[in-house]
Amino acid sequence: MTDDLYRETIVTEARHPQNYGSLAGADISQSYVNPSCGDSINVYVKLDQEKKKILNISWEGDGCVVSMASMSFLSAKVKGMSLVEINKITSDDLKKILGVEEITPSREKCMMMGLMAIRKVAKDK
């Protein structure tokens, strides 16, 4: 993917995020703040309690383009996944979701924010 296309895809996703907003009837919510930059994400999850799978997910947040796009793409990917499967998602997986091969260390923290919030949900259940 070219740099221009990478930027366009991520910027478009951040401007028009999937699953953005609160979730009525959420079983659990978690938040995550990146202390180095102040970006924040709140995640709302409706769980299949027996199977420990995400039935529905939504989120709200404020932050950079990378954190917002990553959370948007991730929210679409994790629907139907078990909490065990979610814990196996890696930073390399997120890079693939974003369509990038490399990301700077400071931006990797931004990219990982949504996953960290979802993992907090998994720990609580």
pLDDT tens for residues 94-111?
Answer: 999 888 888 888 889 999
d(CA 42, CA 62): 9
Give this prediction's pTM. Answer: 0.89
8 Å CB contact between 19 and 76: yes
What domains appear along the chain, each with residue ranges and CATH number?
3-124 (3.90.1010.10)
Edge-first strand listing for the sheet containing 40-48 = 28-33, 40-48, 53-62
d(CA 36, CA 86): 25
pLDDT tens for residues 53-104?
Answer: 999 999 999 999 999 999 999 999 999 999 999 999 999 999 998 888 888 8
3-state secondary structure at position 76: helix
